[in-house]
Structure 1
């Protein structure tokens, strides 16, 4: 968008734990210069025992930062700010404040939030269809369908849940794209509508009615703060994080319950 960014992220901590120290250092150097010691390490220079302890501590910290959302946003926002200031020929602060994040606790919360983000340009009336919504995940996914040679780095849709399912979103990409397209038409027409009956299958698997889906995909940020998910998942998150109360619990009961 012109003044803000929305992203749905999957933080794969386990994957970072199996990276070699050299891999971690190289990945960090793509973003930052690192230290003289990490540069020596990547070059294959000899490192003595005293230096090794310092290097190990540094690599441990780099590994943590590479799966830390705050560091991800720090690097992303700094890059955008530098480019915007260069374009406007100015200096100074670009972003108003710290980013906000919400934990998506189940499939219904995940897909409704994804659709909310993908439909942002349509709600803002700067695009008419998902395929013309620039810089969105749905546009990238549709491009990859039309041109399989285009590399898609987004989390894949892997079909219906099954045993030994590969890592990905447990729904059909075709179902998701069609559902987002129909939802976008309802939003664009600026009327209270219903999702086409043929698309009910994916909503049924999510446990949502078409009214719940339309509310979530147009007002997601309005109703949830720290986390989004069914009531049981929200209670588990509250206990895990030590919160006394979590905003959105009431909406979890009405919007993310089985229809």
Structure 2
């Protein structure tokens, strides 16, 4: 695009940054790095108390919690006011300006009853959905087509998923990774989660370090992922190497 526009692209490069996730190892580490941000910032003790993260809403959904799909706002916008409300407001304003106090009180009570009814109707119209309905499913549907799987429920963009692991395993690994920040709760990775590390080529003993220090490994890099993934990205982008490629090698078996 820059070549076609005969420009360098410096304007956008200096203002907007995007980091390419080159493989599943990088995607898993990045997802957990983001989900553990509140814990890292000492704003929460564990993922289940880390509000405003995807993990928090996924955990709430496993407990059957639901929320309003779009908003719980029941105030009627000016453009949405029914004619009955507009007429009452106009008559009330006229009565107040004319000093007709009795009429103004009567019209005020009528308007309040109407607003109560409209608020109730608005609340009933708002759908309540699972707490994580706005998120793409975590587990990738590998049997489906490789093309995007657009959602039709109007709440989230895609039903495709993005990781080759179950939500249960993700939350268990997230919980274990979060505990490694605390010296008195450190331990070896659970045996039933070890195959995930093996499949991704990650050294189990270095996984927590990769997540907690994600920014140290990839903070100055244009991409994040395994050494092989970064090497392939360098070749594809006609570069000798990707910053962080050598450092992250210590985290992979």
TM-score, reference length from structure 1: 0.55
1:168 maps onto 2:161 in alignment: yes
Alignment correspondent of 2:225: 229
Q: Cα RMSD over matched residues?
A: 2.8
Higher relative contact order (CA 8 A, sep 6+): 2
How far does residue 155 in structure 1 lie from its aligned partner after superposition? 2.4
Structure-2 change in CA distance of 1:99 and 1:188 (3 Å): farther
Gaps of 5+ in 2: 1-10, 67-128, 150-159
1:199 maps onto 2:116 in alignment: no
Q: Which structure's CA Rg is the greater one?
A: 2
How far does residue 211 in structure 1 lie from its aligned partner after superposition? 1.8
Structure 1 residue matching 2:181: 3-state secondary structure? helix
Q: 2:239 aligns with which of 240, 243, 248?
A: 243
The alignment of Structure 1 onto Structure 2 pairs a total of residues equal to 163
| Equivalent residues of 1:231, 1:252 under 8 A apart | yes
d(CA) in 1 for partners of 2:45, 2:192: 22
d(CA) in 1 for partners of 2:186, 2:63: 32
d(CA) in 2 for partners of 1:158, 1:231: 24
Alignment correspondent of 2:50: 133
Gaps of 5+ in 1: 1-69, 72-96
| Equivalent residues of 2:197, 2:204 under 8 A apart | yes
Runs of 4 or more off by more than 6 Å in structure 1? none
d(CA) in 2 for partners of 1:211, 1:98: 37
TM-score, reference length from structure 2: 0.56
d(CA) in 2 for partners of 1:145, 1:184: 19
Structure-2 change in CA distance of 1:142 and 1:203 (3 Å): same
1:212 maps onto 2:245 in alignment: no
